[in-house]
Amino acid sequence: RFTDTSLPDSKKSSQKNCDDYVAKGFWKEKTPDHGLAAAQNADSSLMGVIFPVRQDPNKSTAVRPVCDLRQANLVSPPVSNTQLTTSDATMRLRSRLQPSQVVAQYDLQKAFYSVEVDITNPHGQSVPLELSVGGAVYETRRLVFGLSCGPLILNTTQRIDLMVAEAAYRAFYGDDKANPPPNVVVVMDDFLLSGSEVSVKRFESLLL
């Protein structure tokens, strides 16, 4: 759902997200001269306009900055990313759940805009994306919410995280037969864990 950026709360929340990305080094603000030149370069396929979208207030990011990157997506190779639907994930979770087990859900807070990606232009050169936010222009080499390849990149990153966490669990607790690694179901940018309370807490510490 689009937000009315004239509303103080929406505008403040959207700006706070941008400030956080700059503070963490995910975005780099261009100088006014460079920003003006970039804003005037309407033909740039690697420039997008940020607009805020209000999400469920219970999510970690209530107002998500979404980028209009239709031009970049047009020159990107076509990709697809088939994931479990919510109902499929629920059925899989229920089929594995035992009476004595617990379930925990972990949201990859602000996963978009934090995962580093290598972006190339049509000439094969490594370049940043440019994001126009109001009167400012930012550069980023991070995953932007609006790239058609975004869900696939995020899912691949999740799988790598899980492989590392599962290997670490086996290395640290491999002999604990009473608390084997928990079952993990991935839904969008969430991890759903089911297992003994001990194993879930252990796995949580490895993920964090």
Q: Could you report the per-residue pLDDT of 105-131, keeping only the tens digit for each?
A: 887 766 667 788 888 777 788 888 899
Low-confidence ranges of the chain (pLDDT < 70): 1-11, 32-45, 56-61, 80-82, 109-112
Alpha helices in the chain (DSSP H): 8-23, 32-40, 70-74, 86-96, 150-173, 197-207
**Alpha-carbon separation of residue 91 from 95, 188, 199, 206 (angstroms):** 6, 16, 21, 26
Q: How far apart are CA 132 and CA 109, in angstroms?
A: 23
DSSP 3-state of 125: coil
Q: What's residue 109's pLDDT?
A: 62
SS3 content of the chain, % helix, strand, coil (to 5): 35, 25, 40
Question: Which pTM value belongs to this model?
Answer: 0.66
